[in-house]
Structure 1
Amino acid sequence: MTTGSAESAARAVDDHPAMDHVARVGLVAFGVVHLVMGWLALRLSFGDPGGEADSSGAVRELAQQPFGEAIVWAVGLGMILLAGWQVLEAAVGHRRDDGVKRLRKRLASVGKAVVYGAIAASALKVVAGSGSSSKKDGTTSASATLLDLPLGQLIVGLVALGIAAVGVYLVYKGATERFLKDIEAGGASGRVGSAYVWLGKCGYIAKGVAILGVAALFGYAAATHEPDKSGGIDEALRTVLDQPFGAVATGLVGAGFIAFGLFCFAWARHIDR
């Protein structure tokens, strides 16, 4: 098969109506993960330190519920479908745009595919019985490896800036309601549509704030050359929890995660690819 015919085939798959259903299944799974992340963050804000308030912790929490293994399998499958959709989007999607804007969106799809694939891998590890290790350990190990490289502190600092850029963009996307481009116009109309908009605003802003917390941890690790100071969303929330009014801030982020999870369900219903 030539490159041209392969690209045409990929476009045909991406444009097929069945891909809407693939994306919907994935978005529902993504929403479930965020609902559990929000619940874990709220528990943390109320003084329950059990569970990690990130995607890996959410998957492990789901596994402990009745029919947990089946639920985690379903979430893993949904995330695989969502990652596959974004791989197609990265390869041949975003054709409404051109030039730099199309390239930027395709690169964003690559990043999304990596995130969704990582959640799917966490789910598969849990059902395989090897998902009990702490995500903090993995993050610390990666940070230590980077810091040991020549110019390691600079590299980790750049990673922190990259993570911060994602966080700022998510806050911007929520505050300006740019996420409405992803759903049908009818999905944002009426009282129900207004509720969807508020869920999206709160959800995106909360996710952005949490990711900015992760960026701050990586930045601190780079500045102090202490890899154990880095971490993911769970570590960021626990750091915030130790600050004045930390319980309130952590609770608000948890509520925002829940809002984003509910928005994902609305997004799945009114998706506009």
Structure 2
Amino acid sequence: MAGGADRDPPSDRRSSPLVEPVPDAPAAVADLGGETGLLIADYHAGIEAGLRYERGVELDSAGDERRERVLDLLARTGADRLVVLGDLSHRVGGAGDAEREELAALLSAVGVPVTLAPGNHDTGIAESFGDRIETTPPGGARLGDVGVLHGHTWPSPEVLGAMVVCMGHEHVAVRLEDDVGGARAEKAWLRGPLSRAAFDGSVDLASADVEWRDPELIVFPAFNDRSGGTWVNVEGKGFLAPFLPDALSDGEAYLLDGTRLGSYRRI
């Protein structure tokens, strides 16, 4: 493992009382102001059909397993709402039969309201499932003091007025090496203060009459295990969001088990 990593007590890892990662899972519990939300990102329903079409890769569907993981997390956390930070579906340009079937089964099973901050893969989701999913504008929305968005577009002023901003899109992963040269990729969280300067000229907070409250940014790992990732500590592997890395100059990386790796720029 990278040098300098440690495992903090849970109380020390919690830099914000509003959003807390679920141990050993790519999911978090959030106080949404009157509701408890289970937040996940990049579900990519029907990815196996997409991989077959896009790359000729044949894989059995893991849709049932993905759905059961969500149901287990909802039961474990007692969440009142499921919030997906974009890319609920996989097929860019509209969900196909595999995506629609998997999403229909998921939405029938969850038993709580679902909010989607739509991502670049979610074309047509609102039209297909609008009676079962509450969809935010492309720039996201604020739920209580938590801002949610996918991250492929600039956030709305409303999102930047939150205390904590949560996003997906990056499929965050880190490359870890051992003492004998072996390497592996691990899913990771990024957390740190959001830089206001990164949005100057692109998001007009003043005209929207939004107060800047020095929010924390949390970049989620992908929920889907087959969707790849952005290796944030490998040179040449750039971010996808238009405001990163400028908006997260002092962020730290954490593994799913809570291990703190330190600054993501120096892992």
TM-score (norm. length: structure 2): 0.27
Structure with bigger RCO (C-alpha 8 Å, 6+ apart): 1
